[in-house]
Each structure stands twice: as structure tokens, then as C-alpha cells.
DNA sequence: CGTCATGTGTCGTATATAGTACACATTTAG
DNA sequence: CTAAATGTGTACTATATACGACACATGACG
């Protein structure tokens, strides 16, 4: 589908240039999966792994978990839970912001962060 | 798990009081599933149906699809796609708003809707 | 030059997801 | 009273998800 695998491979190989601990085998071991499985993931031979595995992989590679999950075609379970608790509210908000430029969304984020509520 | 089934049953039975077309069989047929399956869904004997089926069911019962999806433990695919396109931005926004009261979120929604961007 | 680590091919598996098909007892309506 | 409609029990299935186990050829390096 998308470039989840190649992205992961790229990141891992870059890290590997100055740290031999970033081989397929060693990363797989630290992440808690089989090396063969990680190899297949990186080559796109299988679908991206589960959310939990993706998050551990992101941590290992120093990546933002939400970004890696997005590449895997997923949305973090905790975000989904927040939405599910107030579906109408969040559905409307998110659809409103669909076409908004990044900086407009960022303004909203900051406003909420500094907000007085 | 949750009360997806009993909620659907309640809504359907209420509709049925003044419209005989809201039997399990007839609703199932219009939704495009087997009556036995709808029956099991309503009694919670099986997990809530797929997103597509849930959405058709919501339409048939005059419900907000996002709300019914939430009861089914899901988040609409189109919302997920919006988030996946800008994961960092939306992840931060949504987590910021997790604890915000409804009216604060609503204010943001309105602000964005009337926004000048 | 031998050994150790590396990446990958092949095969298999357990669980979840999303239903269908059919029969049957009960209820409802003309 | 009977014919049609109703709700549901039982059994089955196809596909997807998410991996593990093991072996093997190749390459690096001390």
C-alpha cells in the first residue's frame, strides 16, 4: 500500500550507519518480534504490524508514534477513544478542519492550550 | 461489551410501534443483512457489525452514524483519514481537547466554522 | 579462513472479523 | 382457523490480522 516499510527501512539504515545495534535482528529483538517478520515488514511483504508493535518500533527508531501509525494506516487507540466519548462534537470539529491550512489548525491548538476554560 | 445491541433494539422497537415496517426481518432486508444476524447483533450475541453496515443501519433508524459507530467502538473511516493526513497536528489538538468541556469545544467548532482562513 | 552475525525464504498457526443459510417454534392478522 | 410474518437457535464459512519457527545463503571481520 503506502511506504510504511520503506520508511522504516530508511530510518533504521540511517541509524545503523553510526550504530551497529540497528540491524534487523537487533531492532527486532528489542521491539519484541522475529527478525524475519521485521524484514518482511520493511520490504512491504506483509501489512504493517499492530498498533502496539508499531508504537514500540517508533520508540526504538526515535519517531513520533502518531506519524508512524499514520503511515501504517492507523489512528492511535487513545485518540479514537477520545472521539468515541463525544462523537458528534469531535466529528464536526475534525471535518471542519479537514481543509484548514496547518497554521489555522495550529492557532486553534495554541488557543486551546492557553485557553481559560 | 457496551450497549450497542440494546440501543439498536430500543430504537427499532420504538419506531415499530407506529410502523410495522421496522421488524427485524424488514430492517435487516433494507440494510442488506440476514435477519438472524441482526437479531444476534441486537441481543449482543455477536460483535457490532462492520462500519459500512453500521452506517446503513444508522440511516435506516434515523440515527447519527458517528454516534452509532461510537457505540460500536469504532471511529468513522473518513475521520481517521483526515487525522492520518496530518497526524501530529490532529493528535495534539484532540489530546488537548480531551478534558475540555463540551461548550469549550463547541466554541472552537464555531470559531473555525466562521473563521476567516 | 573460520566463525559469527546478518537478511530473508518458506511454512505454519491462532484469533478475530463479518457475516450466510436454513430450520423451527411462536405470534399476528385476515 | 389458517397462512403469513416474525424472532431466533444452530451450524458453517471466507477472509483478514498478526504474528512465530526454522533453515539457509551471504557477508563481515578478527
Q: What are chain A's domains?
A: 4-71 (1.10.260.40), 86-114 (no CATH)
In strand C, the nucleotides that come within 7 Å of a protein beta carbon are 5-10, 17-23, 29
pLDDT at res. A115: 72
User: pLDDT > 90: what percent of chain A?
Assistant: 89
Q: Is the CB of B36 under 7 A from strand C?
A: yes
Evaluate if residue B110 carries a pLDDT over 90: no
pLDDT at res. A116: 61
* Banded pLDDT at A73 (limits 50, 70, 90): very high
Q: Is the CB of B20 under 7 A from strand D?
A: yes
Contact A49, A15 (CB under 8 A): no
Dihedral sign computed on CA atoms, order B107, B4, B34, B50: positive
Evaluate if residue A32 carries a pLDDT over 90: yes
Contact A105, B89 (CB under 8 A): yes
Contact A116, B103 (CB under 8 A): no
Evaluate if residue A90 carries a pLDDT over 70: yes
Evaluate if residue B1 carries a pLDDT over 60: no
Q: Give the mean model confidence (pLDDT) for residues A41-54.
A: 98
pLDDT at res. A117: 64
pLDDT at res. A108: 87
Does B102 reach chain A within 8 Å, measured CB to CB? yes
Cell reading at A39: 524484514
User: pLDDT > 70: what percent of chain B?
Assistant: 97
Cell reading at A56: 514500540
**What is the rounded CA–CA span in Å between residue A7 and residue A24?**
14
**CB spacing of A70 vs B83 below 8 angstroms:** yes
A86: left (phi over 0), alpha (psi -120 to 50) or beta: beta
For residue range B29-77, list pLDDT tens digits in order.
999 999 999 999 999 999 999 999 999 999 999 999 999 999 999 999 9
Q: Is the CB of B46 under 7 A from strand C?
A: yes
Q: Which residues contact B30 (CB under 8 A, 6 or more apart)?
A: B60
pLDDT at res. A1: 53
- In this structure, the dihedral spanned by the alpha carbons of residues B6, B9, B11 and B13, taken in order and rounded to 10 degrees, is -140
Cell reading at B64: 447519527
Identify which has the larger pLDDT, B108 or A32: A32
pLDDT at res. A101: 95
pLDDT at res. A96: 95
Å from the B106 CA to the C12 C1'? 52
Does A51 reach chain B within 8 Å, measured CB to CB? no
Nearest CA in chain A to B116: A104
Does A67 reach chain B within 8 Å, measured CB to CB? yes
Contacts 24+ apart (CB under 8 A), A86-90: A86/B102, A86/B105, A87/B64, A87/B66, A87/B67, A87/B69, A87/B70, A87/B75, A88/B64, A88/B66, A88/B67, A89/B102, A89/B105, A89/B106, A89/B109, A90/B79, A90/B94, A90/B97, A90/B105
* Banded pLDDT at A92 (limits 50, 70, 90): very high
Nearest chain A CA: its distance from B1 CA (Å):
14
Q: Give the mean model confidence (pLDDT) for residues B83-89.
A: 98
Does B94 reach chain A within 8 Å, measured CB to CB? yes
Amino acid at each position: 500500500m503506502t511506504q510504511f516499510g520503506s520508511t522504516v527501512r530508511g530510518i533504521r539504515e540511517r541509524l545503523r550507519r553510526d550504530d551497529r545495534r540497528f540491524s534487523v535482528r537487533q531492532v527486532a529483538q528489542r521491539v519484541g518480534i522475529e527478525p524475519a517478520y521485521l524484514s518482511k515488514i520493511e520490504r512491504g511483504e506483509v501489512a504493517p504490524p499492530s498498533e502496539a508493535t508499531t508504537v514500540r518500533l517508533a520508540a526504538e527508531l526515535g519517531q513520533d508514534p502518531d506519524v508512524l501509525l499514520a503511515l501504517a494506516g492507523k489512528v492511535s487507540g487513545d485518540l479514537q477513544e477520545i472521539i468515541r466519548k463525544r462523537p458528534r462534537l469531535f466529528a464536526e470539529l475534525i471535518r471542519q478542519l479537514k481543509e484548514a491550512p496547518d497554521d489555522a489548525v495550529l492557532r486553534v491548538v495554541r488557543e486551546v492550550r492557553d485557553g481559560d476554560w
